[in-house]
Amino acid sequence: MAKADILNESLWDAYSNKVTTLMNNPQHQGELFENEVEERGNKLIVADFGAESCGDAVRLYWEIDPANDKIINSKFKSFGCGTAIASSDVMTELCIDKTVQEAVKITNIDVELALRDDPETPAVPPQKMHCSVMAYDVIKKAAGLYMGVDSESFETEVIICECARLSMGTLVEVIKLNDLKTVEEITDYTKAGGFCKSCIKPGGHEAMDYYLVDILAGPRKEMDEDKMKAAADASTSGIADFEGMTLVQKIHAVDAVIDESVRQFLIMDGGDMEIIDIKTEEENIDIYIRYLGSCDGCASSSTGTLYAIESTLKEKLSTKIRVLPI
């Protein structure tokens, strides 16, 4: 199988079943009309939010009962990719039967979690994650229009990326949920740092109080400590535990073993590696990796180095493991 085939298959597999279903069959796409809403004695709110840089945009419709501020119906129109359609559909579903005050507490994280098949597995691949983070902004706009206040009055957290309107709390949660290791990955998942780039590190377009490089350091240290513990637990509690782990748990366990026993030697030679995917079949657990730096293209990367990596993982985690460079 060609490298491109593996990558394409892995990318498609990274979408949850809920996302792929709603891409093609959204349940709440459409419009609400003012005359029909008013005939029912309710109020229509229409709010727009768009990211011009990537072309994604969403229009949110709320039909609100003014007697109790409850959203009794909601529709959306989305101008964007399939991921934007699926996330907008779930956002709309989450709004229905909530009061405006309750709906404004819905976050981008809530939407992404609702799109997951497995609570521990992200619903979309990293490069499409930014398509699912428009919910919070358009909901705030709709609530502000209904209540007659500035949408920014709902902001209770420190905003780190002004361009993408992402708060410190949201960024920390995304880092932890998806085991992000670099600022580039944060940008892939959230679009933070993908616009004016001022929030990435000091010296950018504008001076900031907080930067992504600093925000990443705290949760990253905590997660690395957890991974080391996971590796220790895996090596002492038996092979069966690893084989029964979820995909996210397996990736954490493999990463921890690599960090503990392999990575330092790769770095000494000017290289490194990253895990691309883990696929479990009846007889094998296939771990797809990508070599980085001087390891990429090195003759021993397919012989001695590969044997050392695979042997270490087999010894510490499972004899079913096969390591496949791509």
Domains along the sequence of the chain with CATH: 17-154 (3.90.1010.10), 157-234 (no CATH), 238-325 (3.30.300.130)
Give the active site residue among 54, 81, 163, 298.
Answer: 54
Residue range 298-308: mean pLDDT, rounded: 88
For 92-125, how does the pLDDT look when each residue is reduced to its tens digit (9 = 90+)?
999 999 999 999 988 777 888 899 998 888 888 7
81 is catalytic: no
Q: Is the pLDDT of residue 236 over 70?
A: no
Which of 81, 95, 131, 163 is catalytic? The answer is 131
Q: What is the pLDDT of residue 232?
A: 63
**Residue 298 is among the residues annotated as catalytic for this protein:** no
Q: Summarize pLDDT for 23-68 with one digit per residue, the tens.
A: 999 999 999 999 999 999 999 999 998 754 456 789 999 999 999 9
List C-alpha distances in Å: 229 to 22, 153, 286. Answer: 38, 42, 23
Average pLDDT over residues 302-310: 91
Most confident of 117-126, 228-237, 297-306, 317-326: 317-326
pLDDT band at 17 (very low <50, low <70, confident <90, very high): very high
Is residue 94 within 8 Å of residue 130, measured between CB atoms? no
Percent of the chain with pLDDT over 90: 42
Mean pLDDT of 150-172: 78
CA-to-CA dists, residue 163 to 53, 75, 170, 202, angstroms: 10, 26, 14, 16
What is the reported pLDDT for 79? 82
In angstroms, the CA 152 to CA 260 distance is 45
How far is it, in rounded angstroms, from Cα 271 to Cα 257? 17
Rg (CA), the chain: 23
Provide, rounded to the nearest whole percent, the portion of the chain with pLDDT above 70: 87
Q: pLDDT: is 8 or 131 the higher one?
A: 131
Task: Give the phi and the psi of residue 75 in degrees, each rounded to 5.
Answer: -135, 170
Six token digits for residue 272: 């490194």
Is pLDDT at 88 greater than 60 in this prediction?
Answer: yes
